[in-house]
């Protein structure tokens, strides 16, 4: 199936799984993380808090992913992942961002997810340049050994939409 692009609030999408651009604590934040927690309800925070810490204050290391139910969201699942903070590209940011997409797809496959929506991971607060973030997203999903029947890249503003549009 072709990769799709949609500009909307990801929390509105009635897909099997939406992806959350979280931080390593998995205890919520701003941006898409804040929007997802607001719409999912406090049960999502409780489910995240119940996930084991793999290091002090870290439930999901950068590049890794964790899955929870979607609770009050229209999506059945939330797959949380933590993108790299952009430091200029000299700290393996592309590889760490690509790992987010690969690890999310691994959990999606294990869960039998048929439709998934990705936000532009790391392209907000974490400062990853829009075009570079979109390129890693599209290339990694395109090259993945498996992906759900429906994959949507969900953008939240014209700049990011144009960045994906140039690639799709
Ligand atoms: N739906 C879809 N996309 C959204 C939404 C939304 N409701 N809200 C924001 N976005 C977009 C942003 O415009 C940006 O393009 O998601 C992309 C990722 O931006 P952030 O949410 O800031 O995520 P990120 O850059 O990965 O930073 C993660 O921010 O919110 C905190 O807890 C989070 O510490 C973590 C950090």
Q: Is 129 in the pocket of ligand 1 (CB under 6 A)?
A: no
Q: Model confidence over 58-96: pLDDT tens digits?
A: 999 999 999 999 999 999 999 999 999 999 999 999 999
pLDDT for 34 beyond 90: yes
Ligand 1 pocket residue status of 124, Cβ below 6 Å: yes
Query: Per residue in 91-147, pLDDT tens?
Result: 999 999 999 999 999 999 999 999 999 999 999 999 999 999 999 999 999 999 999
The ligand 1 atom at the shortest distance from the C-alpha of residue 10 is: 1
Report the number of distinct structural domains present in the chain.
1
**pLDDT for position 136:** 98
Domain that holds residue 149: 3-167
**Known catalytic membership, residue 149:** no
d(CA 90, CA 106): 27
Report how far ligand 1's centroid is from the alpha carbon of 143 (Å). 24
**Torsion, Cα of 161, 94, 146, 139 (10° steps):** 50
Q: What is the pTM of this model?
A: 0.98
Handedness of CA 45, 47, 50, 55 (dihedral sign): negative
pLDDT at 2: 85
Lowest-confidence segment of 1-5, 25-29, 33-37, 50-54 by average pLDDT? 1-5
The residue from 9, 33, 64, 165 that is catalytic is 33
CATH of the domain at 155: 3.40.220.10
Per the prediction, the chain carries an average pLDDT of 98
Q: Reply yes or no on whether the pLDDT at 1 is more than 90.
A: no
Q: Are 82 and 62 in contact (CB under 8 A)?
A: yes
Distance CA 84, CA 57 (A): 17
């Amino acid at each position: 199936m072709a990769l799709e692009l949609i500009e909307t609030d990801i929390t509105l999408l009635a897909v099997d799984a939406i992806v959350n651009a979280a931080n390593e604590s998995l205890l919520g934040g701003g941006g898409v993380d804040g929007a997802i927690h607001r719409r999912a309800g406090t049960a999502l925070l409780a489910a995240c808090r119940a996930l084991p810490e793999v290091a002090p204050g870290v439930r999901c290391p950068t590049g890794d992913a964790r899955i929870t139910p979607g609770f009050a969201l229209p999506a059945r699942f939330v797959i949380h992942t933590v993108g790299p903070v952009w430091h200029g590209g000299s700290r393996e940011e592309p590889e760490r961002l690509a790992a987010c997409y690969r690890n999310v797809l691994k959990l999606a496959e294990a869960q039998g997810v048929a439709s998934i929506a990705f936000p532009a991971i790391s392209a907000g607060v974490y400062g990853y340049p829009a075009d570079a973030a979109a390129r890693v997203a599209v290339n990694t999903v395109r090259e993945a050994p498996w992906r759900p029947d429906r994959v949507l890249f969900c953008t939240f503003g014209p700049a990011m939409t144009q960045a994906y549009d140039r690639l799709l």
